[in-house]
Amino acid sequence: MSTQVVTESKLISEYAPRRSFLYGFLRWEWMIVALILVDVFVNTKLSPFFLDARNLSRTSSDFMEIGLMMLPMVFIIITGNIDLSVASNMGMSASFMGLLHNMGVNIWVAAGAALLLGTLGGMLNGYLISKIKLPALVVTLGTYAFYRGLAYGFLGDQAARGYPEAFTYFGQGKVFGTLIPFSVALFLFLAVIFGLVLHRTTFGRYLYSIGNNENATNYSGIPVAKIKFIIYVMSGFMASLAGLILAARFGSTRPDNGTGLELAVITAAVLGGVDINGGKGSMLGAALSLLLIGLMRFGMGLLNIQGQVQGIAIGLLLILSILVPSLVRGISSLRRNFNGRSALSAAAFLLIFILFFIFFFWSRAPVIAGV
Amino acid sequence: MTVQNSSAVKSPTNSFSNLLWTLVRFREAGISIFILVLVATVTVRAPSFLTVDNFKDILLNISILTIVALAQTMVIITHGIDLSVSSMIGLVAMMVAFVVKQNPEIPVSLAVVLGMTLGAVLGSFNGLIITYGNVPPIIATLGTLSIYRGLVFFYSQGTWINSFELPAAFKFLSKGTPLGLPNMVIIALIVAVIVYYFLNHTRTGRDIFAVGSNPDAAQYSGIRKQRIIFLVYLLSGVLAGLAAVLWVSRFESAQTNTALGFELQTVAASVVGGVSISGGVGTVPGVMLGALLLGIIQNSLTLIRISPFWQLAAQGLLILFAVISDKWILSRVERAKK
């Protein structure tokens, strides 16, 4: 349904006689850059520790696992699919490496085996989605439980620790002579590669083509099934790589490492302007939105705001990033259809939400006071 | 299949393949067969599995899942998804628990109504941004998933409500057995009957299917698409609110991580129960079987003494297996029809 509507509106905008200067400026990447600047400005005012190179360097490595998994996720979402299993795959790979390490296997062999297992995990997803033709959401929901379950199976209630320093360098070390963490350098390098593949190769063009119209792409002789298989294998490999980086950063592995990160990965990609319905998005936008989320979380952390409460801001940002442009686009039709009745229902909803929050604070006050 | 069937029609003696054919035509055939095979296998390993008490236990465990999965089903039928159900449950559970703690004398029915009302507000917020804001459902509810969960933390400031802070009548709501079965199972059955009637025998219910299978055609035939979509998210909130009250009553506590990750279980129950993620297809009995299957898997893994650490992996594998076998059986049926 929505794809058709989107295609139509795109056609209209493409044939529009002239675009205003503002329209060009309102490209999504510029919006994110503006938001980043606002965030940096506000946070510098609020906390003297915000613009501290050491702090920034340390906090930046916290987001690299999300970043590494986001790169193939951009590919997958552009084709109109999704991978909910990435964080579970990450946990599975890291736990497998931990298990082998506990058994006394050489750390590099263990890491290689973990990468292999993660890639196999991606292959299973890819096979079920591209060959058996099951919906991506269903398949990766199943493997989401399966891979996380394997992580628990490997390590149980144990944690693996005592990794050699040569290995933890990949999570904690800095690139020689600078403050840039190794993981950040790795992410930037891979982001450039993924960006070039997406925007400068035929493979990348095929991804957009699949996202816009999978059937038509298939009938044009493009090997859709093979491409879908490849991107899920990539996703599995990158998830296990993220798992290794995570293990190196913590210096230990627990089977519940990274639970729930898949939603953070998807949030970063979508906030970066990658269309969840497929066919649209850029690697630059996704990378910028990762930077924005990282800076926001870091700033709120400095202000002693709990991680979960920070989620309110990230969630609002995610919704507003789609809501505001769509309201701006729909403003003319809104004006046409606006009448007394819709004004009344808008007022009613506003009243309901206000009442809800009055109740929210009223019911909370006595208990909070008693604590 | 075709050959067998036509021969069955010709010779009435071949009644077995006739029976098989009738079975297979049901959409729920795949999952039913899967459940029967699983039950048979587990019973061989652990005879205590096939007892009335054990099944009562299973039913008690899947009641909340069934209620929320039915809500999720209505949403998925419109080609949407509601990932925020778990956070709605968490927030409503915390708010209701706070109110009940402060006012232990309020009747239980009022607490239920309060929970459903709060759920309705949260659900209508989802509905508004999805319909009038044109935000894709997965994005909107992914956003409210973290917003509502953040509000739980903000609301409670990290404190919990424990068992001793809740009145006995409230705890009795889920566990009492005045009708032979635990109340909660009966509530889930009532919800299922209402949803069944609503989806199959009311005009609005049929409109939900119409919107899901072809939104444009539905709109051209005069169905107010936006209203229907708004309605399913509202109902999802209402049922999540009901589930939240039952959750507090059953587990006798409200924590900041109540129902964390539950959204994926509800989607799993719907999908395993034959609801098509691309909209327009789904039945209430199918979803109930889906929830039952998840419950049986969880229960039987414990009974046949699979280490708790491997249980999640086995669950995930069985879900994949159920979905693949369902697809396989369905394609056989399609081929047989031709």
Q: Give the pLDDT score at A3.
A: 45
Q: Please give the model's pTM, rounded to 2 decimal places.
A: 0.84
Computed over its alpha carbons, how large is the radius of gyration of chain B? 21
Residues of chain B neighbouring A81 (CB-CB closer than 8 A): none
Q: Where does residue B15 rank: exposed (0-12), middle (13-18), buried (19+ CB within 10 A)?
A: exposed
pLDDT at B20: 58
Out of B124, B277, B311, name the one closest to residue A135 (CB).
Answer: B277
Mean of per-residue pLDDT scores for chain B: 87
Cross-chain residue pair B317–A306, CB shorter than 8 Å: no
A160-161 and A252-253 strand pairing:
antiparallel
Q: A6 to chain B: nearest residue by CA?
A: B134
pLDDT of residue A15: 46
Q: Within an 8 Å CB–CB cutoff, is residue A63 touching chain B?
A: no
Q: Which two tokens stand for residue B206?
A: 């049929």
A residues 199-228 lying closer than 8 A (beta carbon) to B: none
Element (H, E) at A353: helix A340-370
Residue of A nearest to B139 (CA): A319
Question: B137 near B77, Cβ under 8 Å?
Answer: no
pLDDT, residue B90, reads 96
* The CATH classification of domain B52-328, taken from the options 1.10.1060, 1.10.3470, 3.90.480, 1.10.4190: 1.10.3470
Query: How far apart are the C-alpha atoms of B297 and B58, rounded to whole Å?
Result: 10
Size of interface A-B (CB pairs under 8 A): 186
Of B121, B153, B267, Cβ closest to residue A353: B121
Phi then psi dihedrals of residue A177, to 5 deg: 80, 0
Return the closest-CA partner of residue B66 out of B242, B287, B249, B263.
B287
The whole-number pLDDT of residue A75 equals: 97
Chain A positions in Cβ-Cβ contact with residue B264 (cut-off 8 Å): 84, 141, 144-145
Give chain A positions within 8 Å (CB) of B126: none
**Closest approach of chain B CAs to the CA of A145, in angstroms?**
5
Could you report the per-residue pLDDT of A167-189, keeping only the tens digit for each?
999 888 888 878 889 999 999 99
B276: closest chain A residue by CA: A135
Q: Is A311 on the interface with B (CB under 8 A)?
A: yes
pLDDT score recorded for residue B323:
80
**pLDDT above 60: residue B203:** yes
